[in-house]
C-alpha cells in the first residue's frame, strides 16, 4: 500500500489524511475541495469550485498513472441541492467517455465557504 500526501497542482492536506492511497490496481482519492493550490483562495462561485475540484482529481489521478477515464466511483457532497443541475452539466464535460458510478449527497461541509467536495476511486493498472 502506498500513501501520497503531496501532488503538484493540488492543495496539500490541512489535516491528517493522504491525498490518495494506492492499493493494488486501485487509487482512492481523498475528498477534494475548491481551493486554489497556489494562493489558498476559495472561489465564490459553485462552478469555479467544482471545476477546481475536478481538476484536482484529474491531476491526482494522472500523477498516479491513471486518468478520469479510469474513475470507477465518485461520492459527491453538495452544500445545497440547488446546485445539482449546474453540477451535472459541468460534470458531463469532464467525463466524455462514459460516467463513473456516483452518489450525491447534500452535506454540511468542513468550512462554510465550501460548496462541493468529491472523493473518487479509480483503476490504475501497473
- How high is the pLDDT of residue 5? 85
pLDDT of the chain along its 126 residues, tens only? Answer: 888 888 988 988 888 999 999 999 999 999 999 999 999 999 999 999 999 999 999 999 999 999 999 999 999 999 999 999 999 999 999 998 889 999 999 999 999 999 999 999 999 987
| CA dist 86 → 39, 93, 108, 118, 121 (Å) | 25, 11, 19, 15, 23
Cα–Cα distance measured from residue 113 to residue 53, given in angstroms and rounded to the nearest whole number: 14
| Domains of the chain listed by start with CATH number | 2-123 (3.30.1330.40)
| CA dist 117 → 2, 30, 34, 126 (Å) | 23, 10, 8, 28
CA 11 to chain centre: 11
Please answer whether residues 15 and 27 qualify as being in contact, where contact means their C-beta atoms are separated by less than 8 angstroms.
no
- How high is the pLDDT of residue 106? 97
DSSP 58-124: HHHHHHTT--GGGEEEEEEEES-GGGHHHHHHHHHHH-TT-PPEEEEEE---SSTT--EEEEEEEE-
- How high is the pLDDT of residue 40? 92
Amino acid at each position: 500500500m502506498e500513501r501520497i500526501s503531496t501532488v503538484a497542482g493540488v492543495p496539500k492536506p490541512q489535516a491528517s489524511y493522504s491525498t490518495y492511497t494506492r492499493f493494488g490496481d486501485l487509487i482512492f482519492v481523498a475528498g477534494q475541495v475548491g481551493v486554489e493550490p497556489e494562493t489558498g483562495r476559495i472561489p465564490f462561485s459553485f462552478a469555479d469550485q467544482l471545476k477546481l475540484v475536478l481538476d484536482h482529481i484529474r491531476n491526482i489521478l494522472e500523477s498516479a498513472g491513471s486518468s478520469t477515464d479510469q474513475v470507477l466511483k465518485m461520492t459527491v457532497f453538495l452544500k445545497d441541492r440547488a446546485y445539482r443541475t449546474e453540477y451535472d452539466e459541468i460534470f458531463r464535460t469532464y467525463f466524455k467517455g462514459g460516467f463513473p458510478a456516483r452518489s450525491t449527497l447534500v452535506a454540511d461541509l468542513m468550512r462554510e465557504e465550501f460548496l462541493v467536495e468529491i472523493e473518487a476511486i479509480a483503476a490504475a493498472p501497473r
